[in-house]
Structure 1
Amino acid sequence: MTDQLLLGRAASAAILTINRPERHNALTFDMFRRLPGMLAAAAGLPGVRALVLRGAGTRSFSAGADITEFAAVRATADQGAAYDEAVTAAEEAIAGFPHPTIAQIHGYCYGGGCGLALACDVRYAAPDARFAITPAKLGIVYPLRSTKRLVDLVGPSRAKIILMSGAELDAGRALSLGLVDEVADDPGRAVAEFAALLAARSAVTQRAVRHTVQRILDGQSFDDEEQGRLRAAALAGPDYAEGVRAFLERRPPSFG
C-alpha cells in the first residue's frame, strides 16, 4: 500500500504530504494518529526552518475525515472520544511545531482537513480551493480548541455560520473572511518563496511572535514576566547581535 503520509524536503522547508489522492486525501483514524510522529520527524530534519502541509494530486488538499470507516472506528462514545483525541493531537502537533507552518491548499479543504489547515500559521490557497467545515452534516460537535481556531480567524458570528450551515466557501469568500491569507495562481511557488523568506529571518523572533500571538488569542493583554524573559533572551542572543551588525555593515543578516 502506498504510504498515506509522505515526508519530504525542499530547501529549508519540510514538506508533509497527505497522500490519498484516489480518495481526495481523506484522512483515516490511523493517519490522524500518525501525524504527530511525522511532525516530530520533520522537526528533527537538520536545517529545517518551516513546514509545508499539502495534499497529493490535483483535486484536493483534503476532503476531511474518511467517513466510510466511522462505523468501525467511531461508533461508540469511547471510540468517539479516542477519535477526537487523535484529531486534537494532530492539530496540536501542527500548532506546536517549532518553526512556522504553512498550508498549501488546492481543491477540497473540508472538515478535518480544514482543521489541519487552520492549525497552521499561514494558509495559501489556489483559486480552485473550496472550504467547508461540516459537523452539522454529521450531527457531531467539534472540540473547543478546534472551534476556537476558527473563531480566532473569522470571528464568532461567521464561525457560527460556517459550522451551523456546513456551507461550501470558494477561495475568494474564504479570503474575504480571513480563513486564508492569500489566493495565488501558483500556490506552490508562493509558498516556496514565503518559506525562503522565513529562512532568511530570525528564528528567535519567529518563535517569540508565534508564542506571543497565541498568548494574545488566549486572553493575555499586557506584558508580564514571561514576556519580559522572551524579550531579554532575544536581546542577549546572537541573532540580535548579528542583526545589528549586518544593518551597520549594510549587508543581509546571516542568522544561525
Structure 2
Amino acid sequence: MAARDHGGMIALKLLDHVAILSLERPDARNALPTGAWQALAASLRTIPTSARALLLRSAVPGVFCAGADLADLARLVDDVEARSVFRLALEDAVGVLAELPIPTVAQVEGGCFGAGVALALACDLIVASPGARFGIPPARLGIGYPVGDVARLARRVGRAQAARLLFTAGSIDSAEALRIGLVDNIGDASEVIDEIARNDATALRLLKHILDDPLDESLDQAFEDSFGNPRFAAGVARYRGEA
C-alpha cells in the first residue's frame, strides 16, 4: 500500500505486512486539532486486512504527541456545540485504534502529553525511548479527561497511579513510566513489531480477540479450528522431517 496522507498531519503506509501510522505536525509538536482526530480515525479505517500489526509513531524527532491542539480547543470556551464535535472526534480516533483486530504498538519518543497519552494507551504495547516523558495535564487547565481514556489508564497502572498522574498533572520520565506499568519496554519498537509480523496473521487476530473478549463463547471453537491452519500443518511436517 502506498503512503496515504490524511489532512497533512497523519500518514499511513504498509511495509512488510506492518501498517505504519505517523503523526506529522512538526510546527505544533504533533498537537492535533479536531480535524486531525477525524483524519486519524479515517486513516485507521483504511488499514488493509493484509496488515499483521500496526506501529504508531511520530515523524517529528524528539516528540510523540503534545495532545490536543490548545489553539483549536480555545474556541470551545464559547462554542458549546463544538465541544461535542471535539469529544466525539477524539473518542472515535482513540476507539478505532483500541478496537483494531491486529496487534498495535506505540513507539513513544520524547514528549507524550494529554491526548497523546490516550493514543498510546489505546495500543496493545507501548515502547518508550529513554528520553520519553509522559504527562496528563488537564487538571492544570481546568478540564477533565475522556471517560474511556481514564478507564484505560487505570487498567494499565492501577487506580492509585492513575490518580497520581491525573491529580498532580505532573510528568514522569520513561524509567518511572516503566516502573508503574505505563510503558512495557524501553527501547526500539521496530524490534517488537518485526517479531510480531513474522507470526501468522490469523493466529495474531485470534489471540488479540481472546485477550480483548475472553468471555466470547465462540473462541473455544476458534481455538480448535486453528489447528486446521496450513501454517500449523507445515510446522508439524517440518518437525516430523516430512518437509
**TM-score over 0.5 (shorter chain):** yes
The residue identity in structure 1 corresponding to 2:19 is A
Map 1:8-157 → 2, pairs under 5 A: 8-41=13-46, 43-44=47-48, 47-73=50-76, 75-157=78-160
- Equivalent of 1:205 in 199, 203, 206: 203
TM-score by length of 1: 0.84
Contact 1:123 1:180 in 2 (8 A): yes
Deviation, structure 1 residue 76: 3.7
Given the superposition, is the C-alpha separation of residues 214 and 233 from structure 1 closer, same or farther in structure 2, using an over 3 Å criterion?
A: closer
Counting matched residue pairs gives: 235
Q: C-alpha separation between the residues in 1 aligned to 2:199 and 2:54?
A: 15
Q: Matched residue of 2:45: which SS?
A: helix
Q: C-alpha separation between the residues in 2 aligned to 1:239 and 1:160?
A: 46
Contact 1:21 1:59 in 2 (8 A): no
Q: C-alpha separation between the residues in 2 aligned to 1:75 and 1:87?
A: 19
Report % sequence identity.
32
Counterpart in the other structure of 1:180: 183
Map 1:213-232 → 2, pairs under 5 A: 213-215=211-213, 226-227=216-217, 229-232=218-221
Map 1:159-178 → 2, pairs under 5 A: 159-178=162-181
Deviation, structure 1 residue 199: 2.1
Counterpart in the other structure of 2:194: 196
Q: Runs of at least 4 residues of structure 1 off by over 6 A?
A: none
TM-score by length of 2: 0.88
Deviation, structure 1 residue 69: 1.7
Q: Which runs of 5+ in 2 are unaligned?
A: none
Contact 2:200 2:231 in 1 (8 A): no
Contact 2:210 2:219 in 1 (8 A): no
RMSD: 2.2
The residue identity in structure 2 corresponding to 1:207 is R
Contact 1:202 1:239 in 2 (8 A): no
Contact 1:124 1:183 in 2 (8 A): yes
Deviation, structure 1 residue 238: 6.1
Deviation, structure 1 residue 97: 1.3
Q: C-alpha separation between the residues in 2 aligned to 1:37 and 1:137?
A: 31
Contact 1:204 1:239 in 2 (8 A): no
Q: C-alpha separation between the residues in 2 aligned to 1:199 and 1:239?
A: 21
Q: Cα deviation per residue 1:27-75 (whole Å; 9 max; x = unaligned)?
A: 111111111110011x22x631111111122120001111012222564
Q: C-alpha separation between the residues in 1 aligned to 2:166 and 2:81?
A: 24
- Equivalent of 1:236 in 217, 222, 225: 225
Q: C-alpha separation between the residues in 2 aligned to 1:110 and 1:124?
A: 15
